[in-house]
Amino acid sequence: MNEDAGPVRIPITGELDLHTFRPADAASVVEEYIAACRQRGLTSVRIIHGKGIGALQATVHALLRRSPLVESFRLGDETSGGWGATVVQIKPLSD
């Protein structure tokens, strides 16, 4: 993989699968994705972090707790990925 290829373009669909990123990059990817979703008017986002041992989930949840853009978040239910995903409510842009 070419490290100098530049930024990776991610479609802003309201769903972010972190399996395709290095764990070290997860926090910045989540932060930038939430900001991009908010700019596009998306207020609900599903972040797929997987089940594993819970390290990535802990990283994501710590970031979400600190983010001024996040209204609330919860683990997914049986229709949205269970504890392998987190559903985030983003604060809408002010008019």
Q: What are 10-41's pLDDT values in tens digits?
A: 778 899 999 989 989 999 999 999 999 999 99
Q: What are 33-91's pLDDT values in tens digits?
A: 999 999 999 999 999 999 988 899 999 999 999 999 999 999 998 888 888 999 999 99
Residue 26: its pLDDT value, please?
92
Q: Which residue has the higher pLDDT, 1 or 92?
A: 92
Fold of 15-90: Ribosomal Protein S8; Chain: A, domain 1 (3.30.1370)
- State which amino acid sits at residue 48: I
State whether the Cα torsion 83-59-22-31 is positive or negative.
Answer: positive
Burial code of 52-90, b = ≥16 C-beta within 10 A, e = fewer?
A: eeeebbebbbebbeebeebeebeebeeeebeebbbbbeb
Domain ranges of the chain: 15-90
Query: Residue 16 class from Cβ within 10 Å (0-12 exposed, 13-18 middle, 19+ buried)?
Result: buried
pLDDT band for 2, please (50, 70, 90 cuts).
very low
Both tokens of 92, joined, read 């809408």
